[in-house]
Structure 1
């Protein structure tokens, strides 16, 4: 553990620098002056609004960095100061320890595309925004270009949403999985241990769907897209899945609904009966997530299926005539290399999915991977970057283009997650949820609701259903009443 003293800035404000510190010192933490420290960070600001200087010293190395005020449109005063401190801190760390890890500069948040969208909303040119990303946020040219590509493509989807001002999205959570994957931190319950909760949770979910659907209809709102995720929704029996999809169509779906996604992430949960149910209920998008096509890795990460089962599941999707197939992969899985990823992408290319989401492994606090971290060997940052290049070349050869992007803490190689799609086959839910441009009602255990003010387009509230099935059932009436009241008051 590397303790760090912070001078010239209150310790609580040092939190804005923590994630940049972790890029260089993964075990670094800011501590009070009474505690011993190996590193000293000094922030100097002569006068408000002037150049900020930061010095980093660890007894062996010393680095200095500065950041001068510049024009960033629509940046509040406090945000402006924080950005300059972060920029000067990054430059000091680079001088002290060497090249910056990764290409994202001081952008450590989940949604870097929001900076681009704000600038585009203000009418700034692509050239100006590109320069802004590189100079004001220290983003590398390749990542700046990626952000601009994604944002410009998303603007076309925003226009579809704006044409339906009363439209909302729906997320439905099924919190059960056949087993728990090594890296997973989502609310997910192993079906073999928690099967007794499936029917009570479904009964509660059906009540929530019915109440929310009725309130949407009363208040003149329509549902533009529906995403059934988890967990793994296809752990349900074909009868349970038919019951759920039937109610979804009856209570929520209309002619305004252009997209219905079902996550079938684990191919061993699919069979022809379930595919027939999805076909009969007009599901438009299915997600099958191999993560890798390497058999030994699948077993290593706790996915008890084979690469052949992935291919069989895809064949069932094609046979059922589902219009869009998504497939996910994860870069940086223990024991894998760029060559492994090249094999995975070559195998996936043969299956011709309309969407591919490329995730980079994040060491999430609530995952089994974090608890067992010492037992696993992870690829080095350079190898993970090579994996990303392999994927970029592969999706380009498949004529897939980037359309949404987000980042997470503790990602290997300081990389990102990117969704790719054939033109016109983008997942609308993914864009609206990630960019927070449309109200999303979350139904089911652990589901998140996001309320967007239609007049300002700003996110006004995030609220989560309980992650525990018993707590969800206990508090169901309260959650329904709150959602209905929120709709009727808006």
Structure 2
């Protein structure tokens, strides 16, 4: 790794590239991978099948005679009775395709025999787009020198791939090698996925009557720079809170009636937002009281995302304790005061420490903390300072997010005003976080990825053994239904017999959620009745 004070900065290719794909439909997936190497506006696709004339006039900007500074990427998939194969060729001077030179500058190919599909882990080789993508990544790595830590994997839930291997009784080495062969993933990332799959597996019992609840409180003290969640400033929407709680209570009662009538049980509840503790103590009491009055919460994991310390009070913590909330999050994101101001937090690092110990004094023995690697203007030393302060507090779990430029965030709109953290620095931050978590006696237990995440990395949850968050695991593995309540909440109805997942979206706008609650309940009931 390079010196973190003098990081290597990868500059994307600024040449135009024409992409031709034959034998498989994956323009979107190819674009998602190629934009990690090229400026996105430089990527062009053609429907031409080995037809240079159509490339020249229909799909490529400029004149073909001016193409010497342009690339051409050809992707081909073909098959016979025994195997299917893919080839990826990159020409760095498209005009040479008109001459006798036809050998590509960079080339990669893979072949999958149908007999391999019956072997352990073989189901993964049905994922043709991942395999073709790995050939694209190999070619682009040879061309640019940039290696993607997750290879051709684009999905949110890569642990599912490792879980397939674990379920097929493959050991660690077999799983790691299998994932590398599939996607060209880095070996350390493949090992991480395997370790998480092994940790998650005991939590994934086949309980068809288990339901998880998400409850969204879409209010916040202020909107953070990077945030894209449904979060309305509480000082502007305070008058709507009583009406919102009435609508939410109606949804709680409707869901509880169905669950009780159909003999389901609640495995976990997660109250998120926004920031649930941004509402007044009396409003928080009403929400928690409504949940405990309507659901049997025996043996239930009950999480409240307390979140920002500027919204946490002794009264609110005592209310949570009264209703037997057994897991809370107090989320610093950073322990650097300068960064807190930049991202729009109205509190200090000392406030975080004070509220953490207040919660401990009141008996909370399962506290999570969230941090973000790659926040604007932060360097590696500032991130290490955050880790050291958290190590002093010793939370029971730590969720390490990698900064992502989310479409609905202010940061996406104002990114020119802030310094973006180079990939090598973000990678170093994630490695330091891993070491810190292990030093605190934690292990990784869940992981997910996002679009536009810095350095093409991941978000990882660490916990001490016995403090894993059941809700987080099931959100990722999607084998049990999650019924989501509140504005902007997304339910996932899992029908394991049909092997299907249906997502139902609640309206994001608070006013519309309140006025159209009956319509949403009717729509949701259709899916509940098909479980």
Q: What displacement does 1:83 show?
A: 2.8
Q: Secondary structure at the match of 1:51?
A: strand
Aligned position for 2:142: 95
Correspondence for 1:36 among 48, 57, 60: 60
Residue 180 (1) aligns with residue 223 (2): yes
Whether the aligned pair in 1 keeps the contact of 2:397 and 2:463 (CA below 8 Å) is yes
How far off is 1:97 after superposition?
1.3
Which secondary structure does the structure 1 equivalent of 2:468 belong to? coil
Gaps of 5+ in 2: 1-13, 47-54, 62-69, 95-103
CA–CA separation in structure 2 for the residues paired with 1:51 and 1:173: 46
Q: Do the aligned partners of 1:66 and 1:91 also contact (CA within 8 Å) in 2?
A: no
Q: Which moved more, 1:242-251 or 1:18-27?
A: 18-27
1:326-363 residue CA offsets vs partner (Å, 9 max, x unmatched): 00000001111111111101001111100100000011
Q: CA deviation at 1:196?
A: 2.6
Cα pair distance change 1:8/1:378, threshold 3 Å: closer
- 1:314 is the counterpart of 2:350: no
Determine whether 1:261 maps to 2:295. no
Q: Kindly indicate whether the alpha-carbon contact (under 8 Å) linking 1:68 and 1:84 is maintained by their aligned counterparts in 2.
A: no
Kept after mapping to 2: 8 A contact 1:64/1:96: no
CA deviation profile, 1:124-161 (whole Å, cap 9, x unmatched): 333322211111211111111100110000001113xx
Provide the secondary structure at the position in 2 that maps to 1:350.
Answer: helix
After TM superposition, give the deviation of residue 280 of structure 1 in Å: 0.7
CA distance in 2, matches of 1:485, 1:466: 17
Preserved CA contact (<8 Å) 1:212 1:483? no
**1:368-396 alpha-carbon deviations (Å, 9 max, x no partner):** 11101111101110111111111111111
CA distance in 1, matches of 2:190, 2:249: 44
Measured after TM superposition, the shift of residue 462 of structure 1 is: 1.1
Q: For the structure 1 residues 459 and 44, does the alpha-carbon distance in structure 2 shift closer, same or farther, using more than 3 Å as the test?
A: closer
Counterpart check, 1:115 vs 2:161:
yes
Shift of 1:2: 5.6
2:32 to 19, 22, 25: 19
Does the residue aligned with 2:36 lie in a helix, a strand or coil?
Answer: helix
How many residues were matched structurally? 483
* Higher mean displacement: 357-366 or 36-45: 36-45
- C-alpha distance 43-485 of structure 1, shift in aligned 2 (>3 A): closer
Q: SS in structure 2 opposite 1:107? A: coil
What is the Cα deviation at residue 12 of structure 1?
6.0
Q: What is the deviation of 1:489?
A: 4.1
SS of 2:204's partner is: helix
Cα deviation 1:67-89 (Å, max 9, x = unaligned): 22253545488x54323321211
Match of 2:93 in 1: 59
Q: Secondary structure at the match of 2:155?
A: coil
CA distance in 2, matches of 1:92, 1:489: 46
The answer to whether 1:143 aligns with 2:189 is yes
RMSD of aligned residue pairs (Cα, Å): 2.0
Q: TM-score, normalised by structure 1?
A: 0.94
The Cα shift of 1:46 comes to 5.2
2:200 maps to which residue?
154
Alignment match of 2:382 (pick from 340, 359, 366): 340
Relative to structure 1, is the Cα distance of residues 80 and 215 closer, same or farther in structure 2, using a 3 angstrom cutoff?
closer
From 460, 481, 486, give the equivalent of 1:444: 486
